[in-house]
Structure 1
Amino acid sequence: MTETYQVVIVGGGFAGVAAARDLGRKGIEVLLIDKNNYHQFQPLLYQVATSQIGVSEVSRPLRAIFHRRRSVRVLTDEVTAVDAAAHTVTTVDGTTYRGEILVLAAGAEPNFFNTPGAQEHAYPLYSLLDATRLGGAMVNLLDRSDRESAGAGSVNIVVVGGGPTGVETAGAIAENIKYVVPGYFSTALAARCHVHLVDLVPSVLGAFSVKSQTYARKHLIKAGVRLHMGTGVTEVRDDGVTLADGTTIPSKIVVWAGGLKAGDILSGSGLPQGRGGRIDVRADLTAPHVDGVYVLGDAANITDARGAHLPQLGSVAQQSGAWAARNIHADLTGGTREPFRYTDKGYMAMVGRGAAVAEIGRKRVQMQGPLAFIAWLGVHVALLSGARQKASALLSWADDYLTHTRSHVVLGHPEVAPKE
C-alpha cells in the first residue's frame, strides 16, 4: 500500500520541524515521520543527564507543535528504507509513503570511528534515552561507591571528545562532583571522584579561537577536570579505557562525545554519500543527481555562499529547514529555488557555572566568562520549542545556578547501570 502526499519529511529534529511548520502555514499537505512522537533539543541533553534540567524541558510532543497546522500529519513510525529516485520511504510495517517532494532530515548517530569496545561499552549522548541512561548510570555509580569503604579507589568518569558536547558534559559532571556530591553524599566521596576529558586533538574546542580554547582549558582544570589532549582512545572496556600513549584509565562510565555520522538509512537511499556518510547537497539544499529531494540538518553536508562547509549545529539545521520550505513552496507553485543563505550566529560552549565562551557572528566577536554565559542562555532559550519549555528551563537554570542544588531527579535502575 502506498500513501501519497505533497511533501514527505523524514525526521522531527530542528530541520524537519522547521520545514514542516513553514509548509503547514502555507497549507501544503505534509507527512512528518519520526520514530519518536516528540521533538528533542539535543544541545541540552547533557544537562538532562546531570539533572540541571528535566526531560520535559528539552522535549515537546510533535503533535502539540502542529496541532494548529491541519495540513501537517505527524506519524510515529520508523523508516526502514528510502528510495530517493521514487520519492518514497517505507516503514517497519511495510507501508510506503510517497511525496511529490521528499525531505530527508533524519539526523545523525554517534560515530565511534571503529574504536574497539566503544559501541558496546560507551554511553553516547544524542537522544533522550541516551541522556536518561547516562544519568541513571551515574546515580547508580555514586550510590554503589557511597557504600564502599573510605579507603576505596578513585571513581572515574571519562568523557571522550573535546568539542562543545564533550567540554559541556565534562564541565557539568565536574561541577556536580564539586558542589552536589558533597551535599548529597559526602566530601569523602567527592574527593574520590574525577572527570577525565580525552581527545586526539591537542586542544579543547578545536573550532574556536586560541583565546576561547585557553579560557575553556583553564576553567575545566579549575573545576577539576583532568585533560588528556593529543592522545586518542584505542579501546573502551567495561572497566575503563586505553589511550594511544599506553595510559589506562579505570572507569565504569565512558561518555562518548567523539563525533557524529549520518544514520544508516541514507546508505540504501541511492544518494551518493560524502564526509561523515552525509549527502553533499547542492546550494539550494537539494540532493545531487535526483530532482525533488532535499537533505537537511545533520544528514547533509551544507556549504555557505563562499563554499565553506557549515558545522552540524542546531541553528544550521533550523535555518536549512526554513529555507527548504521556501524552495519547496516554489517547486509546488512554479517558482524558482534560491541558494541557501545562512545567517552565521557563531559558536558557543558552556564551560560551567557563570563560565562560557562565545564567538558571535561571521566576524566572530569574542566573549568569555559571565557575558558569554548570559549569551549562551539567551540563544538556547530562543532555540527551545514551546513557551512552556522556555519558561521551565529558565526557572531550572535560576534554581541551579543561584544555588548548589539539583531540583530534577534522575532515577538509578539496574537496566541502566554501568555495563559490567
Structure 2
Amino acid sequence: MKSLLTFLKGGVHPPEAKGQTASLPIERMPVPKELEIILGQHIGAPCTPTVNKRDEVVEGAMIGEVKKGLGVPLHAPVSGKIKDIGTSAHPMRVSAPSITITVDHEAAPVQYDKTDWTTMSAQELLAKVQEGGIVGIGGAGFPTHVKLSPPKDAKIDQLLLNGAECEPYITADHRQMLEHADEVVEGARIIMKILGVSECKIGIESNKPDAIDVMGKAAAAVSGAGCNIVVQPLEVKYPQGSEKQLIQAITGRKVPAMALPSAVGVVVQNVATASAIYDAVVYGKPLYEKVVTISGKGINKPANLLVKVGTKVSDIVDYLGGVKPELAKIIMGGPMMGFAVSSLDIPITKTTSSILFLTEDEIDATPHSDCIRCGWCLDACPMGLEPKEIAIHVEANKAEDTAQFGVFDCFECGSCAYICPAKRPLVQFVRLAKMKAKR
C-alpha cells in the first residue's frame, strides 16, 4: 500500500463505530405511501414549485425550479399526485416549505436510456449536471454545476474525489465505492472533461482496504493517455474528509483563509456525487434517491438503504423494525457534525448521509463546565483557530468580537468539542457567534 497521507494541523481520533453497517450491502427500501420533498435542498435560493395541488407527476419530472440566484431544479422521486404544497419538519430550521406527493404504486417504473457522453462538449455535460439537480452529496449541498465552473483566472490542474468518509458510523460512501466503483470512476472522467484536466486522485482512508482495492482496479482500467486516475490511501484521522484538509493531505497545497479550492488549482467532489453525475449525464436520471446509513444500537436493524428523497424517518424506522427501548438520541448526519432531532417526521434530503439511533452508552451526556484553559481545543482544531476564546466571548455577550479568533473560517467539524475535557459545547458557541456577528 502507498504511504498514508494526512493534513498537518490538528484532528482527532473518535471511535470509528462503522462495524454495524460496513459489511451490509446497499438495500433498496420500498417506497412509502407519501413523500415530503423539501424545496430548499441546496445552498442558495430554495426552489419555487412548478406544480400545483392535485397535479399528476411522473418520476423524474421537474417539480421545482430556481429562477434567480444559486440553485438547481428539484425532481419528483416517484410517480403520483401532488397532495399538498406546504411545510415539513426540518432538522435545522424546524420547518421548511415542501411538496407532498401521494405515491402511485401502480405506475410503471421509468426507464432511462444510456447515451454516449464522450461525444458531448464540456458545456453540454455541465448543462446535464445542472438539469439533473446535482448538489454536493457529501457536504452542505452546494450546486455542483457552479462548483464545476471555477473562475476563468483559476488554473485548475487536478480533480480530487473524496472517499475518506471520516465521520464515525457512516458507511454509505464505502458501500457505493465497493458496489458501484465503475460508475464513480466514470463520473470522475465526466468531471475531468468538464474541467479540462487529466489528473484525478481519489482519497480513501486506510480503514477501507477493500474500497481502496476495488476503486484502484476501476481507476487503473480507464487510465491511459490524457487520463490519469489514481487512488491515494489516507491516514485515519478526523476530519480527513474536509475539503481543505483533503487538499492539503493529497496535494500539499494550503487553501488560504476565506478562499475556495480553485484558488490552489483544485476541485473536490464526493465519490457519491460523482456517481450521481454519472447517472445524470449517461442516463439523464436526476438526483432523487440516495444511499443513507442507518446505524446505532438504538435501531432494531442497521442498514445502508437506497431511499427516495422525501422519505420520512418514521417510514425508515417502520421498515427496519422500529427502535429499541434504550434509544436515547436520534442524529441526522454523523455524530461529529450532525444535528440531534426530536421528531421522526423529518424527510430525507439530497444531503442526508446517515440517521443514527444512539443509546446512552453511545453518547456523552456529561454536563459541561467552565473552560479550564488546557489548550486541547487549540491543538485539535484543523484550521488553527481558537475555539475556547470564541466560546468565552460568546458567554460574555461579545460575539461580535470573535472574527479575530477565526470564527468565520470554522467549518464546525466538532474536533474541539470532542476533545474538550470540560465537555463545553464549542460548536454551538461557534454557531451562535456566527449568527450574532453577522447582524
TM-score of the pair, normalised by structure 2: 0.30
The structure with the greater share of residues assigned to strand is 1
The structure with the greater share of residues assigned to helix is 1
TM-score of the pair, normalised by structure 1: 0.31
